[in-house]
Amino acid sequence: MLADPARAGGRVVPLLTRRPAWQRRSDRLQHPAQVITIGFAAAVAVGTGLLSLPLATRSGQRAELVDALFTATSAVCVTGLVTVDTGSYWSGFGQAVILLLIQAGGLGIMTLATLFTVLLSRRLGLRARFLAQAETKSLTLTDVRGVVRRIVLFSLVSEAVVAVVLTTRFATAYDAPFGAALYDGVFHAVSAFNNAGFSTNADSLIGHVTDPWINLTVAAAVILGGLGFPVVFELTRYWRRPELWSVMTRITVTLTVTLLALGTIVFTLAEFSNPRTFGPLDGPEKLLAAFFASTMTRTAGFNSVDIGAMRPESLLASDVLMFIGGGSAGTAGGIKVTTFGLLAFVLWSEMRGETQVNVGHRRIPPSNQRQALAIALLSVGAVATATFLLLAVTPHRLDVVLFEVVSAFGTVGLSTGITGSLPPGANLLLVLLMFAGRIGPLTLASALALRDRNRRFELPEERTIVG
């Protein structure tokens, strides 16, 4: 304790006291990135515990810890990779747990926590607003509560509409009992909107490859959920006035449409005559299957054809699309189309010799450029390292292993069929990849860094040869 040298009434006036240890430890967890990381980790832990109960499996036996952990992580991180079949291995209770984990992971642990705070106390502290801002990618703090409410309402309404369409289709076209049709409709609606890719069918949606009602409805839910909430809300306000769109909305919409079209073309050409995928389909059905495959590689995880039977060029195209992912602040994964778009504009500006990076009539700050570069390089490093390790412990080919790694890191959930046969160590590596891919490489790194460190000096400048 420090004391003022001036005394009042014979008393020492304290100026500074040492705070208790528990307060100092609490200060270390003030960064939103850290709290979000811990929140997702806690959800994974709770999900693992629930799925480890005998009640969670159809056999009544406890699930293997690796299977429970893998499934819980895949659900919370809205990935869709599985080591055991969802419909036949997990009981109704287990599937309900998976569905709740998908919903929680899609909306965001911090978004749900903020909503409960608003409903229970009608108050929202500054720290809670910062946490909600970090999770929802809201650019201002003043509207966080409104954003959270709209996120939840929009998500639930979208899932309900998709569930109604799917339920009606399952009941009328496939003669499913209403209860079973409703259950499958709700499960696939929540899984699709949150870009999770979990299915109660052992073959995902292969049995519905020629059904446009199911394919297009699921694809629409995936695209809508993957655009990102800020983009969707902005489009609802200014959909007739593109000149008022923000940079994020312009990049997201433009690249989403472009990548969907390119993916459809590539898959159509690569798989057109493949007898194990598109070969038996007619012309319109080939286009439908190609569009569905292009949409699902944006981190959804459903498949209407056998991924393991695809040609190498299709797998490579899928790797690229899965790595890019979907929109920021949405339920999609990958490095995000905004990251990819910003890097493309940086490259274009550098090739033209411009000192500033401009998108439309806006200038992109250097901090945004560095963030995009950091995310891309960290992601490339994670994928390369994980691919090397999996190649060392499994007998599979490079293209198959790379596909599995990118699918996990991009929280996509597509698989060539090797997930269930991987050794426990490889599955644990995929768990880490799914977690890192959902939280985000930069967010995860920030969470571990404790605090930002600013240098109080600058070094002399010196240019070096590049290239």
DSSP helix/strand/coil, 298:
coil
Q: Provide the 10 A C-beta neighbour count for residue 61.
A: 9
Residue-level pLDDT at 83: 95
Cβ contact 75:198 at 8 Å: yes
Alpha-carbon span 295 to 224, nearest angstrom:
11
Write the burial class of residue 156 (CB in 10 Å: 0-12 exposed, 13-18 middle, 19+ buried): middle
Q: Provide the 10 A C-beta neighbour count for residue 256.
A: 21
Pairing status of strand 14-16 against strand 2-3: antiparallel
- The first and second tokens of residue 215, run together, are 């394919």
The upper half-sphere exposure of residue 167, i.e. CA atoms within 13 Å in the direction of its Cβ, equals 16
Residue-level pLDDT at 22: 44
Residue-level pLDDT at 299: 84
Q: Provide the 10 A C-beta neighbour count for residue 9.
A: 5
Residue-level pLDDT at 186: 97
14's enclosing H/E stretch is strand 14-16
Give 45's DSSP letter: H
pLDDT tens digits, the chain, 467 residues: what are they? 444 444 444 454 444 445 555 444 545 545 566 777 888 899 999 999 999 999 999 999 999 999 999 999 999 999 999 999 999 999 999 999 999 999 999 887 657 545 554 554 445 565 565 566 666 655 555 566 777 788 888 899 999 999 999 999 999 999 999 999 999 999 999 999 999 999 999 999 999 999 999 999 999 999 999 887 778 888 888 888 888 888 888 999 999 999 999 999 999 999 999 999 999 999 999 999 999 999 999 888 899 999 999 999 999 999 999 999 988 777 888 999 989 999 999 999 989 888 888 888 888 888 788 888 888 999 999 999 999 999 999 999 999 999 999 999 999 999 999 998 999 999 999 999 999 998 876 566 555 454 556 667 788 888 888 77
Rg of the Cα atoms in the chain: 24
Domain ranges of the chain: 29-449
Alpha-carbon span 238 to 27, nearest angstrom:
41
Alpha-carbon span 105 to 406, nearest angstrom:
19
Residue-level pLDDT at 409: 95
Whole-structure pTM value: 0.86
Alpha-carbon span 106 to 120, nearest angstrom:
22
Give the residues across from 14 on adjacent strands: 3
Residue-level pLDDT at 311: 96
Residue-level pLDDT at 459: 80
DSSP helix/strand/coil, 261:
helix
Residue-level pLDDT at 355: 85
Please give the span between the terminal C-alpha atoms of the chain, in angstroms, as a whole number: 57
Residue-level pLDDT at 2: 45
273's enclosing H/E stretch is none
Residue-level pLDDT at 15: 46
